[in-house]
Structure 1
Amino acid sequence: MSTDKPPKLNPRKLLLSKWTAIAPQRKEKHFIVSKVLWPDDPAAPLEWIELEAVYSKRLQVLPWRDLLDVQIWRQGWH
């Protein structure tokens, strides 16, 4: 069991933040938040981000709260 605590994240500061995959796949270990997908309704909360793999430039869209899972992601490049 991991003793890591989830990072405290401010959705407004996610853009260009760096992340490391705990279990890299396809040689994709390091990622950067390339886009924050704000909802059309300004009153609605942020749900989605676009994450870019540094190695392959592959893009994926995922819920930003997935980054809080310390079993999958680590903040920064390690």
Structure 2
Amino acid sequence: MSRPATTQQRLNPHKLLLSKWTAAHPVKREKHFLVSELFCDEQGEVLAIELQAVLTRRSERIDWRELQNVERWKIGWT
């Protein structure tokens, strides 16, 4: 019996720095991204990340949990 497709990827937020990501639906040719910074609270828990587009060098801050959505993000550069 096959398992239903999951909509989340299991991630360790502390290992995201410098990880590579591919947008499932690129906008303005921005397909490949790199996690360039982690934003943590006083206890060291990761709250957000900075994603940088490889092509344009544009950066945006997002909640790290957004990377768990397999409909928007794929691990690695494909």
| TM-score under structure 2 length normalisation | 0.87
Identity rate, percent: 43
| Residue 76 of structure 1: aligned partner | 76
Structure 1 residue 61: deviation in Å?
A: 0.2
The two structures, once aligned, show a CA RMSD in angstroms of 1.6
Instruction: Please give the secondary structure, in 1, of the residue aligned with 2:25.
Output: strand
Count of residue pairs brought into register by the alignment: 75
Cα displacement (A) at 1:12: 1.0
Return the TM-score normalized by structure 1: 0.87
**Unpaired segments ≥5 residues, structure 2:** none
User: What do residues 14-71 of structure 1 show as CA deviations (whole Å, max 9, x unaligned)?
Assistant: 00000000000011000000000112x116x321000000000000000000000011
Corresponding residue for 1:59? 59
Hey, what's the Cα distance between the residues in 1 that align with 2:75 and 2:6?
11
2:77 is matched by which residue type in structure 1? W
User: Structure 1, unaligned stretches of length 5 or more?
Assistant: none
